[in-house]
Chains A and B, each alone.
Chain A
Amino acid sequence: MILDLKKLKLRKINQQLQSIDRKINDRNFTIINPEGNHAVCAGLTEELNVNIKGHVGYYCAGMNQKANVTIEGNVGTGVAENMMSGKVHVKGNASQSAGATAHGGLLVIDGDASSRCGISMKGADIVVKGSVGHMSGFMSQAGNLVVCGDAGEALGDSLYETNIYIKGKVKSLGADCVEKKMDKKHLKKLNSLLKEANIKIHKAESFKRYGSAKKLYNFKIDNISNY
C-alpha cells in the first residue's frame, strides 16, 4: 500500500501503521513524499515492512518494535531512538544521536552517522557502514556498535558493557574507554552482525574492539578530595 505524505497527514499515517489488524496479511507499505517530516513511523508495534522513499526529519522509527523500516534517503536526529526490536535501515546518512537509548533490534546505516551515535544504548545493535562523529557510544550500557569507517573524538566516553567495533581510525577515546582483546565470541558476534547488515567487504578480524576499563564503576576513596 502506498501512503502519500503530501496528501495524508503524518498523524493519520502513523495511526494507521500503529493499529494494524493482526488478521491482515498484506504487511508491505511505502511512504512517499516524506519531505523531511519528523517522527515518521514512530511507535510501530507490529511485524510490517515500511519503505520510506526520501529524506526524513527527527526521530524516524522511534520506539520501534518488530517492524522493519527502510529509509531511502537521509535521516535527522534520533533515528530509531529507544528502539525495542525490529530493524531500521537507513540508506543515506544519519544525523546525531542515531539509535539513542535503543534497547534491542538492529539499526543499519549505509552512510555516515554524525555525533553521539548510539548514545546511552541499552542492548541494540548498530552497524554503520561509514564513519561516526564525536561522543559516539557515550554512556552506552549494552549492545554492539559496529563502525566500518572512522570514529570521531571521545569514542565510548563513560561506557558500561557495550562492545564497540571500529575498522578505521579513532580520533580519540573517551574517559574509561580502552581497546580490548577480540575473543572468539566477539569475532562470532561481529561476523553475524556484518552478515545481518549484508556487509561482505569487511572481515571481522580487521576490526578493533573497544570497551570499558571499568575504572569508573566504583567510587575510589583516593578521589575523595575531588568532591
Chain B
Amino acid sequence: MCGIVGIYLKTKKFEKNLGKMLSGMLNNMESRGPDSAGFAIYKNSNQKEYKYSLCINNLDFNKFKKDISKKIRNLKLNQYSDHIIVKTPEKPKQFIKFINKEFPEVSIVGYGHSIEIFKQVGNPKDVVKKFNLESFSGTHGIGHTRMATESAITTDGSHPYSTGEDECLVHNGSLSNHNNLRRELKKKGNTFTSENDTEVAAGYVSNSLSNNNSLKSTLVSGLKDLDGFYTFIAGTRKGFAVVRDEIACKPAVIAETKNYVAIASEFQAMAHLPDVNDAKIFEPEPGVVYSWGN
C-alpha cells in the first residue's frame, strides 16, 4: 500500500497555494505510507538554465558549496534541509557526469527546466515540514507516501522517480516484470539507481517519451508492457497523466473544479481542498489514460 497525490492547476488562482494544498494531501496519506515521502513541484520554467535537485545526504552543505563553486562558476544553490536545488546553464549530460565523479555521495534526485524534487525517509508529516513544502508555489505537483514492499526504505527507494528531463512518476502497486524490463531498458541505454520496480516504470516512460511518443500513448502502451498492479501519476513540464491497470485493485479518485484537478488514492487526502465538495468527483476507469495539460 502507498498513497499517491497530485494537483494540476487549470488557472493561476491557487499557484501560490500549491505547496500548501499538496502538503495537506501528503499529510492525509500518512496512513497509506508511513515509511518515506516525496514530492515534485513544477514551477518557474526557465529555458536558459537547468535546475538539478540533489540530495547531499550526510555531506556538509558549506563544504559542498565551496567545493562545487570552485569547479563550476555559473551556479546558484538553494538549500532545503539535505536537498539542494542547483541552478546553472550547465547541460545535464556533463553536469550529471561531473557530480557522479566529484561527489559520489550525492544523489541526483531529478533535473529539468521546471521540476524540483524532494524525497526522504520518514513520516510524511516530518518530510513535508523538513522541506517546508507549504511555502512552495507552482503550476502542478505530484507526491507520494510509501509503505515499502519490494525494496528497502532508503532515499533512493522513495518516490517520485525522475528518469528524464522534467519527468517524474509515482506509483501505488507492484510490478511483476520489472527485472526483465530493467534489463531491456539498460540495453537501450537507460540507467537505474535502485532495485525498485517503480524506477523501471519511470525509465519505461522516459524511454518512450525520448522516442517522441506522447505521454498518453506511452501510458497506453504501458498497459501492455507493464505487468502488475498499479495506479500511476506521471508528470511532465506541461501537466500530468493518470492510469490504473485493468484489474484496478489500486484505488484512485479524481476531483475536478474550474481551477484545479486533484487526484489521490483516497478522497480523505483532498477533503481539505477549496471547493472540493462542489467538484466533479470520479474514479478513473480501469485501463483508461487521463491526462491534463499535455
Q: Does B282 touch A at the CB level, under 8 Å?
A: yes
Count contacts between A and B, CB distance < 8 Å. Answer: 48
List B residues 251-272 near A (Cβ within 8 Å).
Answer: 251, 253, 266-272
List B residues 215-252 near A (Cβ within 8 Å).
Answer: 248, 251
The reply to whether B286 and A76 contact each other, CB–CB distance below 8 Å, is: no
C-alpha gap A35/B276 in the complex (Å): 10
The closest CB in chain B to the CB of A114 belongs to: B283
23 pairs of residues in contact across A and B, judged by CB atoms under 8 Å: A35-B271, A36-B267, A36-B270, A36-B271, A37-B268, A55-B267, A55-B271, A55-B281, A57-B267, A58-B266, A73-B277, A74-B253, A74-B281, A76-B251, A76-B267, A93-B281, A93-B283, A95-B251, A114-B283, A115-B248, A133-B285, A133-B286, A134-B286
Closest 10 CB pairs of A and B: A36-B268, A35-B271, A36-B267, A36-B271, A55-B267, A114-B283, A57-B268, A115-B248, A74-B281, A57-B266
Residues 19-41 of chain A, each 1 if its beta carbon lies under 8 Å from chain B, else 0: 00000000000000001111000
The reply to whether A76 and B271 contact each other, CB–CB distance below 8 Å, is: no
Residues 95-119 of chain A, each 1 if its beta carbon lies under 8 Å from chain B, else 0: 1100000000000000000110000
Q: Does A168 touch B at the CB level, under 8 Å?
A: no
C-alpha gap A95/B250 in the complex (Å): 11
The reply to whether B248 and A36 contact each other, CB–CB distance below 8 Å, is: no
Min CB distance, A45 to chain B, in Å? Answer: 26
The closest CB in chain B to the CB of A33 belongs to: B271
Chain B hits for A77, CB < 8 A? 251
Min CB distance, A56 to chain B, in Å? Answer: 8
Chain A hits for B283, CB < 8 A? 93, 95, 114
Residues 278-291 of chain B, each 1 if its beta carbon lies under 8 Å from chain A, else 0: 00011101100000
Chain B hits for A38, CB < 8 A? 268
Min CB distance, A94 to chain B, in Å? Answer: 10
What is the interface size of chain B, counting residues whose CB is below 8 A from a CB of the partner? 16
The closest CB in chain A to the CB of B277 belongs to: A54
Residues 65-78 of chain A, each 1 if its beta carbon lies under 8 Å from chain B, else 0: 00000000110110
What is the interface size of chain A, counting residues whose CB is below 8 A from a CB of the partner? 21
Name A's interface SS.
loop
C-alpha gap A105/B51 in the complex (Å): 58
The closest CB in chain B to the CB of A77 belongs to: B251
C-alpha gap A141/B268 in the complex (Å): 33
Task: Select which of A57, A74, A93, A115 is within 8 A of B286 by beta carbon.
Answer: A115
Min CB distance, B202 to chain A, in Å? Answer: 27
Task: Select which of A73, A76, A93 is within 8 A of B282 by beta carbon.
Answer: A93
Chain A hits for B277, CB < 8 A? 54-55, 73
Chain B hits for A37, CB < 8 A? 268
Min CB distance, A7 to chain B, in Å? Answer: 15
Min CB distance, A190 to chain B, in Å? Answer: 28
C-alpha gap A95/B267 in the complex (Å): 11
The closest CB in chain A to the CB of B267 belongs to: A36
Min CB distance, A78 to chain B, in Å? Answer: 11
Chain B hits for A74, CB < 8 A? 253, 267, 281
C-alpha gap A93/B283 in the complex (Å): 9
Residues 194-218 of chain B, each 1 if its beta carbon lies under 8 Å from chain A, else 0: 0000000000000000000000000
Min CB distance, B19 to chain A, in Å? Answer: 21
Beyond A76-B266, A95-B283, A114-B283, list 18 extra A-B contacts (CB 8 Å): A36-B266, A36-B267, A36-B268, A36-B271, A37-B268, A38-B268, A54-B277, A55-B267, A57-B266, A57-B267, A74-B253, A74-B281, A77-B251, A93-B281, A93-B282, A93-B283, A96-B248, A134-B286
Residues 33-58 of chain B, each 1 if its beta carbon lies under 8 Å from chain A, else 0: 00000000000000000000000000
The closest CB in chain A to the CB of B270 belongs to: A36
Chain B hits for A55, CB < 8 A? 267, 271, 277, 281
The closest CB in chain A to the CB of B281 belongs to: A74
The closest CB in chain B to the CB of A74 belongs to: B281
Chain A hits for B272, CB < 8 A? 35
Min CB distance, A204 to chain B, in Å? Answer: 29
Residues 36-60 of chain A, each 1 if its beta carbon lies under 8 Å from chain B, else 0: 1110000000000000001111100
The closest CB in chain A to the CB of B264 belongs to: A36
Min CB distance, B218 to chain A, in Å? Answer: 24
Chain B hits for A133, CB < 8 A? 248, 285-286
C-alpha gap A114/B277 in the complex (Å): 20
Chain B hits for A57, CB < 8 A? 266-268
